[in-house]
Structure 1
Amino acid sequence: MSNLSRRRFIQASSAAAAFSGTLRVLAAPQNEARILGPNDQINVALIGAGIRGQSDMSTALQVPNTKLVAVADCYDGRLTHSKELWGSDVFTTRDYREVLARKDIDAVVIATPDHWHKQAAVDAMNAGKDVYLEKPMIHVYPDGPVIIDAAKKTNRILQVGSQRVSSILYAKTKELLASGAIGQLNMVSARWDRSSAQGAWNYTVPPDASTETCDWPRFLGSAPKVAWNGERFFQWRKWSDYGSGVAGDLFVHLFSGTHFITGATGPTRAMATGGLRYWKDGRNVPDVLLALFDYPQGFNLSLRVNFVSGGDDSEGFLFTGSDGSIEISSAGVTLTRSPMSKAPGYTVNTFSNAMQKEALADYHRKYPENREDATTTAGVERFVAPKGYNDTYSHFENFFHSVRTRQQPVEDATFGFRAAGAALLANQSMERGKIVEWNPDTMRLG
């Protein structure tokens, strides 16, 4: 976490009020790339100016000393809107290679469909650009080693865009878990539910969508060649040719958070089930997915995404330990302490009176400090982020810090592959109809 984010957290914590316990606020060779000083402006380009891409760039430009220079997208309307948003001097093109050829660009934000992530990222690093790559880092497993190798060979910064790892709430949870606040972790449960057409990726197709305004062949790239389809172009997450389903879109955030908080590198086994329960509109990925994962650190992870959630649009984490739990939600972090008694207790009432007396005397000799009426340190503490806090801003702040200092980012290619690789195990398990195995150290399927 950056010093600025820490300062925000500390400043906000001093101003919060108490309730229900304690409330606190919580490449080409390197010589082809420009060497940036601590106060130099970072020139950025956007590759993929869809919903997430435009949102990313709007946030990135709030970080001081950043400037948008160029935008690439396969739909002309987004190129027009980029100039409307960020100025007529912004260079726009359908071909991102024209962006990468520019010498005045230091870093790129890649927010393309998943099936373009690997190629766009590798091309950018080979061109001497640092890369902020939207999650999931990979579309298919072979993408991972290629991206990792390219980052090493080119000495470029690559940060994956799963912003939870830069969140002050997740940092607080990591601190609490490491301090032993809930004892021994045994279970992590997470959900990301939605109940709307937009939440289920039925994004609006613009009235002018056609092969004239959309570069369909370029969009398809390595995907199977099919006839023009406006829904596939603008709602690409609904098809596995271009996206990675709810596992790649949403599970990957939950894995990033779990790995960041626990320090784990990934699960060893996965079992998943689900299906198309409601949104039977031609898509070929499930709208309900549930999965269980085994972690060698001694805990299990349970994940759920439901796009037919009955009106409950929510995201949340629950870390359960032997002495309590930690919940992360949009409202903040809630620590519930419920220490397990060190004394086992007793059940003597079926014994004879004489034997009850003897058993109780023996019990109290063994556990003199833990009589049945002893009090514990149970309680609830809550931590909230400062008003208006945005973890995506913190994530870009961390990325640009790495671009300037050449220090490894908070979510590098190896971290990103382990999160995405673990998430896609759910798809593998569901497709195969069986438990699948994964080696989180070697990052290989079993």
Structure 2
Amino acid sequence: MAGAASAMVPVAFAGEEPKAISQMKRNFESPADKELNIALIGAGIMGSQDMNTALQHDNVSIVAVCDLYDGRLDSAKEKWGQHLFLTKDYKEILKRKDIDAVLIGTPDHWHKQISIDAMNAGKHVYCEKPMVHSVDEGKDVIDAWKKSGKVMMVGSQGISSLGNEKAKELLAEGAIGDINYAEGFWARHSPEGAWQYNVPEDGNTKTVDWERYISNTTDRPFDPLRFFRWRNYLDYGTGMSGDLFVHLFTSLHFITNSLGPDKVSAMGGLRYWKDGREVPDVLLGMFQYPDSQQHPGFNLSLRCNFVDGTSGSTYLKIVGSKGSMDVKWDEVVVKTNQKVSSNDPFMEAQAKMRGDAPDRKKILPPNEMVYKVEPGYKGAHYDHFGNFFRAIRENVEVVENPIFAFRAAAPALLCNDSYFQDKFIKWDPVNMKLV
């Protein structure tokens, strides 16, 4: 705590600006002398954002796009060039020799199979979170990754943020003491935030390959809502926890080095969006983290609300024995609950020279310290792809490999299971299996 308090002293004076979080200490930039050709499989909202971010890096080119809706394929050529190879069959992309890596932005129920097929075909993989659609898929992806020797990165980009990195450093330094509790909150109040995605007028069986879309799940007649608003349905999506809790698990596990909880429970309900969806719009999760080599035991509370009339906020709070941290991707706020005298040796020496009385008041470090990113920071999403491309070019580890990603996805997916089965679920975070 003394070291952390000392680090806080410079902002003890009124009017001082928040302390800037330095640019990445981990080198996420990679030499761009090796050109990488990439393809996008799933060109919806997140897949397109991923590709736009990936293309901000030097010597990275897009050569192909796969999607099951004609409108997205047409849009891909408008956004990224007439040269693109377009298809509705992802296996045609995997056969191409000119593709080094694929970005997978499909609905969750296709993540496992496309990832495995891509690595078996010799492609590096960037797959959107959650890595899998159910916990029983995790081992297959991990085994395929180990066997392939390829790089696989999962897309919970907050792990690559300066905010996460600074929080990890502060916790290790003892800035808030020993962790005993954490909580996270994700709230939205907008049509898009509630997964009311646009359904195009020409979205029909002539423009959508519905049979391919449902080929690995329940056979149903064509339903444009199940295709374009897939997050609302369990056959294709993973609910609020698979979409949003997984981000919070990823950040928490990175900051604390945790392997995950051993007990999961959840409650919630459909409070507002009664539009035929199968998943709740309010979800509360409770998780127990056991004593481990990485950290003492603690409890985690996660909340998600799609009916938030205040427009809500997103944060992760980590509480320790001496203080707390509010962690965002571009900011960390440290709050302490103890008044600690400055340990500046110069101040102590001056006090002795003056012969100060023992009860003379001392200058104190602040009880709140704000760290913000420096201007010009390109963001967690950019750094996440930088890490991915560097791993490919230099054969080094990524920050979010399939093992780490599965340990973040599993408790999120089990949160759904707890909600729908109305029971506690026990999980072995070390061996990554149900108990």
| TM-score normalised according to structure 1 size | 0.85
Q: What is the match of residue 72 of structure 1?
A: 66
User: For residues 439 and 384 of structure 1, do their structure 2 counterparts lie closer, same or farther at Cα, with a shift above 3 Å needed?
Assistant: same
The residue number in structure 2 matching 1:382 is 370
Q: How does 1:384-423 map to 2 (within 5 A)?
A: 384-387=372-375, 389-423=378-412
Once the two structures are superposed, residues 187-232 of structure 1 have per-residue CA deviations (whole angstroms, 9 ceiling, x without a partner) of 1110000111110100000111000000001111211011111111
Structure 1 residues 289-333: Cα deviation after superposition (integer angstroms, max 9, x where no partner): 001111113111110000001132321111111111111236611
> 1:169–1:328: 8 Å Cα contact kept in structure 2?
yes
Greater Rg, structure 1 or structure 2? 1
Give aligned-pair identity as a percent: 48
What is the distance in 2 between the residues matched to 1:216 and 1:205?
15
Shift of 1:38: 5.7
1:442 partnered with 2:424: no
Paired residues for 1:357-368 under 5 Å: none
Distance in structure 1 (CA, Å) of the matches to 2:32 and 2:45: 31
User: Which residue of 80, 92, 101 corresponds with 2:95?
Assistant: 101
Q: What is the DSSP-based 3-state SS (H/G/I as helix, E as strand, rest coil) of the residue aligned with 1:165?
A: helix
Residue 156, structure 1, aligned to residue 144, structure 2: no
Task: Provide the residue aligned with 2:303 in structure 1.
Answer: 304
Deviation at 1:37, TM superposition (A): 8.3
* CA distance in 1: counterparts of 2:15 and 2:222, whole angstroms: 57
CA distance in 2, matches of 1:37, 1:97: 30
- Which residue does the alignment assign to 1:246? 240
Q: Which whole-Å CA distance do the structure 2 matches of 1:81 and 1:37 have between them? A: 31
Distance 2:202 2:251 in 1: 39
Any idea what the Cα deviations from partners look like across 1:1-58, whole Å, max 9, x if unmatched?
A: xxxxxxxxxxxxxxx9x976661221xxxxxxxxx98611000000000000001000
Q: Distance in 2 between matches of 1:331 and 1:405?
A: 28
Is the CA contact 1:114–1:242 (under 8 Å) kept in the aligned structure 2? Answer: yes
Distance 1:78 1:321 in 2: 47
For residue 322 of structure 2, what is the aligned residue in structure 1?
323
- Separation in 1, partners of 2:149, 2:49: 28
What are the superposed Cα offsets for residues 111-137 of structure 1, whole Å, 9 maximum, x if unpaired? 100000000000000100000010000
The question of whether the paired residues in 2 share the 8 Å contact of 1:269 and 1:436 is answered with yes
Residues in 1 aligned to 2:317 and 2:15: alpha-carbon distance in whole angstroms? 19
More deviation, 227-236/373-382: 373-382
| Residue pair 1:316, 1:328 contacting (<8 A) in 2 also | yes
The answer on whether the counterparts of 1:53 and 1:111 sit within 8 Å (CA) in structure 2 is yes
- TM-superposed CA distance for 1:386, in Å, is 3.0
C-alpha distance 381-188 of structure 1, shift in aligned 2 (>3 A):
same
Q: Provide the rounded CA distance (Å) in 1 between the counterparts of 2:171 and 2:179.
A: 8
2: CA distance, partners of 1:333 / 1:70: 39
Q: Which moved more, 1:321-330 or 1:412-421?
A: 321-330
- Paired residues of 2:261 and 2:289 also in contact (CA < 8 A): yes
1:313 corresponds in structure 2 to: 312
Q: Which runs of 5 or more structure 1 residues have no equivalent in the other structure?
A: 1-15, 27-35, 343-369
Shift of 1:443: 0.5
d(CA) in 2 for partners of 1:329, 1:313: 14
Cα distance, 1:137–1:20 mapped onto 2, change above 3 Å: farther
Report SS of the residue matched to 2:135.
coil
2:265 aligned with 1:276, yes or no? no
SS at match of 2:18: strand
Letter matched to residue 190 of structure 1 = G
CA distance in 1, matches of 2:51, 2:31: 22
For 1:159, the aligned partner's letter is M
Change (3 A) 1:19 1:73: farther
Tell me, in whole angstroms, the C-alpha distance in 1 between the residues paired with 2:378 and 2:37. Answer: 25
Residue 19 of structure 2 is aligned to residue 24 of structure 1: yes
Q: Is the 8 A contact 1:21 1:382 kept in 2?
A: no
State the one-letter code of the partner of 2:273.
Answer: W
Counterparts of residues 127-206 of structure 1 (less than 5 Å) = 127-206=121-200
- After alignment, is 272-281 or 308-317 more displaced? 308-317
Tell me the amino acid that sits aligned with residue 213 of structure 2. F
CA distance in 1, matches of 2:415, 2:317: 20
Q: Name the count of aligned residue pairs.
A: 394
Instruction: Give the secondary-structure state (helix, strand or coil) at the position aligned to 2:427.
Output: strand
Partners of 1:21 and 1:274 lie apart in 2 by 43
More deviation, 386-395/68-77 = 386-395
User: 1:241 corresponds to which letter in structure 2?
Assistant: D
CA contact (8 A) 2:185 2:304 kept: yes
1:345-382 CA-to-partner distances (Å, cap 9, x unmatched) read xxxxxxxxxxxxxxxxxxxxxxxxx99x8886452111
CA distance in 2, matches of 1:70, 1:314: 37
- 1:89–1:275: structure 2 CA closer, same or farther, 3 Å change rule? same
Q: Distance in 2 between matches of 1:188 and 1:22?
A: 28
